[in-house]
Amino acid sequence: MSGGVDSSVAAALLRDEGHDVVGVTMRLWGGPSDSGCCAVSDVDDARRVAQQLGIDHHVFNFSDEFEAGVVAPYVDAHVRGTTPNPCIECNRTIKFARLAERADDLGFDAIATGHHARVVRTAHGGLRVGRGADRAKDQSYVLHMLGQRQLARTLLPVGDLTKARVREIATEAGLRTAAKDESQDVCFITSTAGRQLFLAERLTPRPATIVDTGGRELATVASIEMVTIGQRRGLGIGGGPARYVVDIDPREARVVVGGADELLCPTIVVESMTWAADLAAPAGTAVQVQTSAHGAAHAATAEVGDDATTVVVRFDQPQRRVAPGQSVVLYDVDDATVLGGGIAATGPSL
């Protein structure tokens, strides 16, 4: 229970179905938080909702694991010139790993969350993550790493509901979180200080040269760690046609910019793939590809490597480059369930 309306309603629905429900809030981030799910007020909201529902509530302190598994890799990724997805790593290492271990230790049968997604059983008997009923709130992208064992013990009670219906249920039940605003994604980046100040306290900024695709020097940037693929503003390269970051080379301290057409690419190389069925899709499988949490899915073909951990995704039509470090998720074209996902490789797309 994060202290938000979705997890509040998830707990209420499971209680009403007759399950023995215990609310758990994870204390992850010990620093300032004003826009995520780790503020003191969020813990208090979760506790009070649990009281309203008549269920026990516990707070588990996983701050050391969160620092090691999410925050430190987030900083390191920027040093290496990649753009990380900390919320996905939190799901991977904390919510569906460390929390699952604690649940095992305490004898619980399942873990439920307020994610807008569904657990779907395929015609072949396997389990996959399916899109939530409310496409605008769908969170299947951030759960793409879940395998068969995890899916077998995961409950997603609000996955078949629209966000509006979730709020209606919370209002009907008189839950204090019914009208609460949604949290921002990165709990340890405050809305006041932002990413730049957060990273400035944890790494030494390195200046870099900005060049066009022909190698002509245009300007310098104070910190290459703050630049990401697709960025247009804050580069200090003056007027003229819009130019976007199309490549970042941290070793050479160089940022390459180009026009909108140069931002397009026909492929993505995806590494560290995990597969929902614990078995890779056949080479040449037609897929839908999503490269951001709320982005559109695009038709493509997946060329799976021999070890199944690397995939070359070939789009039917060229798409905007994906920042290295971002998650790339492959969906079944027939039922829109997650086949698997991985991390966009470093270096320019092929």
- Residues 302, 313 contacting (CB under 8 angstroms): yes
**Domain residue ranges of the chain, discontinuous segments joined by +:** 5-114+157-172, 204-258, 264-344
* CATH tag for 264-344 (out of 3.40.50.300, 2.40.30.10, 3.30.70.100, 3.40.50.720): 2.40.30.10
The residue length of the chain stands at 350
Give SS3 for 345. coil
Q: Are 10 and 132 a contacting pair, CB within 8 Å?
A: no
DSSP-assigned beta bridge partners for residue 208: 221
204-258: CATH architecture? Roll (2.30)
pLDDT per residue, tens digit, the chain (350 aa), is 999 999 999 999 999 999 999 999 999 987 765 555 666 788 999 999 999 999 999 999 999 999 999 999 999 999 998 999 999 999 999 999 999 999 999 999 999 999 999 999 988 889 999 999 999 999 999 999 999 999 999 999 999 999 999 999 999 999 999 999 887 668 888 777 788 889 989 999 999 999 999 999 999 999 999 999 999 998 988 778 899 999 999 999 999 999 999 999 999 999 999 999 877 888 899 999 999 998 999 999 999 988 899 999 999 999 999 999 999 999 999 999 999 999 999 754 43
Two domains, one topology: 5-114+157-172 and 264-344: no
Active-site position among 37, 38, 87, 187: 187
Say what the pLDDT of residue 277 is: 81
pLDDT for 285 equals 94
User: Of 50, 333, 18, 317, nearest to 176 (Cα)?
Assistant: 50
Helix (H) or strand (E) holding 200: helix 194-200
Q: Which CATH architecture has domain 5-114+157-172?
A: 3-Layer(aba) Sandwich (3.40)
Q: Identify whether 265 is a catalytic site residue.
A: no
Of 37, 87, 90, 265, the active-site residue reads: 90
Q: Residue 144 in contact with residue 92, Cβ under 8 Å?
A: no
The answer to whether residue 37 is catalytic is no
User: What pLDDT is attached to residue 305?
Assistant: 83
Contacts for 230 with CB less than 8 Å, ≥ 6 apart: 244, 245, 263, 320, 321, 323
Residues paired with 23 in a beta bridge? 57
Q: What's the sign of the alpha-carbon dihedral 161, 163, 165, 169?
A: positive
Strand-pair partners of 274: 341
Q: List Cβ neighbours of 274 (8 Å cut-off, separation of 6 or more).
A: 144, 145, 147, 340, 341, 342
Q: Structure pTM?
A: 0.92
- Indicate the residue type of 233: R
The tens digit of pLDDT for each residue in 191-219 reads: 777 888 899 899 999 999 999 999 999 99
pLDDT for position 35: 55
Q: Where are the alpha helices (DSSP H) in the chain?
A: 5-16, 40-53, 63-66, 72-79, 86-90, 99-106, 148-152, 163-172, 194-200
Q: Are 156 and 115 in contact (CB under 8 A)?
A: yes
The pLDDT score that the predictor gives to residue 38 is: 61
For residue 189, the model assigns a pLDDT of: 85
Which residue, 105, 107, 73, 98, is CA-closest to 150? 98
Token pair of 182 as six digits? 């949604």
3-state secondary structure of 252: coil
- Spatial distance between the Cα atoms of 114 and 133, rounded to a whole number of angstroms: 13
Question: From residue 190, how far is each of 21, 40, 106, 126, 166 by CA, in Å?
Answer: 32, 14, 34, 40, 27
Backbone angles phi, psi at 111, to 5 degrees: -120, 130
Distance CA 140, CA 330 (A): 11
Cα 164–Cα 296–Cα 224 angle in degrees, nearest 5: 110
The answer to whether the beta carbons of residues 287 and 266 sit under 8 Å apart is no
Angle at 249 between CA 248 and CA 252, to 5 degrees: 145
Q: Which two tokens stand for residue 74?
A: 């987030």
Q: How far apart are CA 274 and CA 280, in angstroms?
A: 8
